[in-house]
Structure 1
Amino acid sequence: MAPLEVPADLRVRTVAMPRLGALYARGAGGAVRGALPGGSRPSPALPSVGHRVRGVRPDVGHLTAYQHLLAERGGDELPSGYLHVLAFPVATSVMVDPDFPAPLLGMVHLANRASLLHPVTVTDELEITTWTQDLRPHKRGAQLDVVAQVSVDGEVAWEGVSTYLAKGMRVPGEAVEVERPDADARADAPIVWSLPASAGRAYAAVSGDVNPIHMSALTAKAFGFPRAIAHGMYTAARALSDVGVARGSTYDWTVEFAKPVLLPGKVAVSIEQTPSGSFTYEGRHPKSGKLHLRGEVTPR
């Protein structure tokens, strides 16, 4: 699959690498202003502005910390989950644009797909470009995609597309129901993750994603969760790591998120290889069997 084309009408703004903590502070301020009497949000249309950061140099120490936390094998090649981490601040920055139609805090991460098209190493100089697209109806509001591309020497080497739900937003059109596999079906789960209460803070330390729903029970309760929840991309990247070297140096990776993982908690993980050579994975609550996440890794 070829990478997406940058939309012809997109105005790409070159920026410095954003700091996620500052972005979340701006996002929280925007949510409060929108909720005040007389406050308003932009009309439900996506901004025609993308962001680009040039000259990104991966840090060996940071990569090593990520590899240790996610149980990724050591080496100079950057796994797809780490490239998501590098691109995430730039992707988030387009969602705090004044013209973005929904508050950053409160967006629900529904799914992700990523393609590692060419191996990327820690010695490469990266260019990261992000934009939003495809605002469309959802039964609980509206959904949209945030696209991130990592280029090396002018060629797209990695692409990630994150799909988010903006609850309560109404956009024209009819919501299309996507049929999903039976979320209550069980499969053998030879792997069980034991995630401590600090798992959210540990991933935040390497990803920069300090969304309060992941940081502590106290901050998560402010957003309606009984305890802190694990980052969805942490669980997806753990599954990617569990697939191991069989994924090859280039691969496609998808994930759909279901019930959040409360911390501390356990996740029963099953990985199966299909006749075509791809690997399907799912993570469930080990007692109830409720689905947390499901996805596929396909060597290219």
Structure 2
Amino acid sequence: MTASQPLILGEMPSLSKLYVNAAATAARRRILGSHADGVLPAVSHEVRDVRPDVENLTAYQHLLGETASDVLPAGFIHALAFPVAMSVMNRDDFPLPLLGMIHLRNVIEYRRPVRFTEPLDIVARAATLRAHRAGTQLDIVAEVRASGGGDICWSGVSTYLAKGVFLPGIDKASAAVAPQGFSAPDPTALWQLGVDTGRAYAAVSGDFNPIHLSVLSAKALGFRRSIAHGMYLASRALADVGAAKGDAFRWEVAFEAPVFLPARVALDISTAETGDGGWLRSGYVAWSPRSGRKHFSGSVAAL
């Protein structure tokens, strides 16, 4: 999909208002019925001159285990761009229900260090509706550049699943295959995640999706308990990779099974090196030490 001229938003969208509107839209669709036609909105949303808050940055770094620095972590930039992406998914002409959307995958390119003093322009659009064995998936593309027409310094493609939603005109032959079997390696770390993990990450990311906040709010959307944010898990794994990732890198993560809170999560990080000790790539995988079920996996590779 090629987006038309962007819709310039006067200010950063409020995630809380977007979730309230999404709930109202879901209720309206239940009453009136959905008339989705499988066509994504051919427009992008943009917010200009975004200035990160240094106190929020510090709180994020502390929660995720990132080193204190004036450089924005790649996951922090994702959180910064998330309200713009959400505003696209909250449009009246967006064909899938926003609430209950499941996060499947992220591919992020962090092309150069971005400092908190830099004003940024953020643009997001929807792309590539396609079938999934459990419903319909799509990509949300976000790009961040220095304000005033600078080069793209960060870009991300987030893949989401609307479970149980099968749109007309979507070729089911393209549905994703089921995950393969998994044999857990020896862990390099063990995380203890409290029941308040979702609320703690929401406080630094602004993502107050009800599925992450409490048992009651999660059950209202079909989950047996609250679940950890996918980007909390991925960003914490990235922080565990540490300085080996370098200044510019491609970061990938694929989510398989949700982490229901509270939880223990085992993590293994492996790093490949060149003969002279130069770093090439880190891979990581996380799983439940109790059941052995894989939660997510990914990689970080130098650009």
User: The TM-score by the shorter chain falls in which range?
Assistant: over 0.9
Which residue, 262, 267, 270 being the options, matches 1:269? 267
Q: Which residue of 2 aligns with 1:278?
A: 281
Question: How well do the aligned residues superpose, as a CA RMSD in angstroms?
Answer: 1.5
SS at match of 2:298: strand
2: CA distance between counterparts of 1:40 and 1:178? 24
TM-score, normalising length: structure 1: 0.94
SS at match of 2:6: strand
Question: What is the total number of aligned residue pairs between the two structures?
Answer: 293
Contact 1:136 1:175 in 2 (8 A): no
Q: Which residue of 2 aligns with 1:257?
A: 255
Q: Which residue of 2 aligns with 1:114?
A: 108
2: CA distance between counterparts of 1:103 and 1:57? 30
Superposed structure 1 runs of 4+ greater than 3 Å apart:
177-183
Which residue, 102, 116, 127 being the options, matches 1:133? 127
Which sections of structure 1, spanning at least 5 residues, go unmatched?
Answer: 1-6
Task: Answer with 172-181 or 262-271: which moved more.
Answer: 172-181
Q: Closer, same or farther in 2 for the Cα pair 1:269/1:226, shift >3 Å?
A: same
Deviation at 1:48, TM superposition (A): 0.6
Map residues 1-300 of structure 1 onto 2, 5 A cutoff: 8-15=2-9, 16-36=11-31, 38-153=32-147, 154=149, 155-167=151-163, 168-170=165-167, 171-176=169-174, 178=176, 182-275=180-273, 277-300=280-303
SS at match of 1:49: coil
Percentage of matched positions with identical amino acids? 47
Task: Answer with 161-170 or 25-34: which moved more.
Answer: 161-170
1: CA distance between counterparts of 2:124 and 2:25? 21
Contact 1:192 1:268 in 2 (8 A): yes
2: CA distance between counterparts of 1:180 and 1:141? 13
Task: Answer with 122-131 or 275-284: which moved more.
Answer: 275-284
SS at match of 2:37: coil
Contact 1:217 1:226 in 2 (8 A): yes
Contact 1:114 1:254 in 2 (8 A): yes
1: CA distance between counterparts of 2:39 and 2:25? 17
Deviation at 1:41, TM superposition (A): 3.7
SS at match of 1:52: strand
Which sections of structure 2, spanning at least 5 residues, go unmatched?
Answer: 275-279
2: CA distance between counterparts of 1:82 and 1:289? 30
TM-score, normalising length: structure 2: 0.93
Aligned amino acid, residue 112 of structure 1: N
Contact 2:111 2:153 in 1 (8 A): yes
2: CA distance between counterparts of 1:41 and 1:18? 26
